[in-house]
Amino acid sequence: MSNMWTIGSILTWTTQYFSGKGIDSARLDAEILLSHVLQKERIYLYAHYDEPLNGPELAAYRELVKKRASRLSVAHILGQRSFMGFDFTINRHVLVPRPETEMLVETVMEDVPTDGTASFLDLGTGSGAIVLSLLALRPHCTGTGVDISADALAVARENGEKLGLTERVTWLESDLFAAVPPASYDWILSNPPYLTKEDMQHLEPEVRYDPPQALFGGDDGLELYRRIAAGAAAYLKENGCCAVEAGAGQSQAIARIFTETGAFTLKKIVKDYGGIERVVVCQRKEC
């Protein structure tokens, strides 16, 4: 890179460079990183293609490009990820929120009106993205975020403070239900680790920066679902629901895991925008 680059020329060069490194979202990533350096919205780039970068801007951008070329994700480089329209702090202690997980939040929101009240228990909360998005979008609801990792809970707590939700959320360090006090929730939510032993051997380079315990779901990827299904009924109100994210091809097996406990009926399975059955919702039976 020389010191005479314009916004347009450097974006073109970076896109080609990233593509050569096997990065699918080459252009988007180049734009996001440059926007961050310039502290401008991405739309600014399109209107200022001929604007030159100064030395400090170029140096800062070069460092970010090096990191992305090493297959560190944009979210990890910038320390944040957008989810449901909110910016969440992330680091190596939490799973980067994925776009497909927004379907879990949207599914719950369909059943909880804007002025409705509901209580949520989010298992494996990580950055807190699921429960905090719901609380931000449903102002009369309350939630509890649970994670086995104290480091992850520190990130979730920071995100809750940034969103002004401290009064309506509780954080608990617990291995699923182990340290959760007796209570009855309207919803239990989770995006548990669901990658199989085989999946873990073929991770994309970016995913290797996520914490392994947030990815690996046992040999068949379903270990955490079994544990959640076994304990969930005791923490749900009658007719309360458990909504979990599923990996591709796992939804039917997950539904069976819940219904075979005898405590749940299958309410619905929701496909994501790619046509994958992504969210499984099971309802607790009346006693």
Q: CB-based contacts of 151: which residues, under 8 Å, 6+ apart? A: 93
> What whole-number distance in Å separates Cα of residue 29 and Cα of residue 32?
5
Q: Is 143 annotated as a binding residue?
A: no
- What whole-number distance in Å separates Cα of residue 235 and Cα of residue 286? 13
Q: Do 253 and 245 meet the contact criterion of CB atoms below 8 Å apart? A: no
Among 64, 58, 67, 70, which Cα is nearest to 32's?
A: 64
Amino acid identity of 49? Y
Question: Does 99 count as an annotated binding residue?
Answer: no
User: For residue 235, what are its two tokens?
Assistant: 């923490």
According to the annotation, is 20 in a ligand binding site? no
249 is in an annotated binding site: no
Q: Does an H or E element contain 160, and which?
A: helix 150-162
242 burial level (CB within 10 Å; 0-12, 13-18, 19+)? buried
Question: One-letter amino acid identity for 201?
Answer: Q
182 annotated among ligand-binding-site residues: no
Residue 127 labeled ligand binder: yes
Sheet holding 169-173, edge to edge: 169-173, 142-147, 119-123, 185-190, 236-245, 277-284, 264-271
Is 185 annotated to bind ligand? no
Q: Is 193 annotated as a binding residue?
A: yes
Enumerate the known binding-site residues: 124-128, 147, 191-194
Annotated binding-site residues for S-adenosyl-L-methionine read: 124-128, 147, 191
Give the residue numbers of the binding site for substrate: 191-194
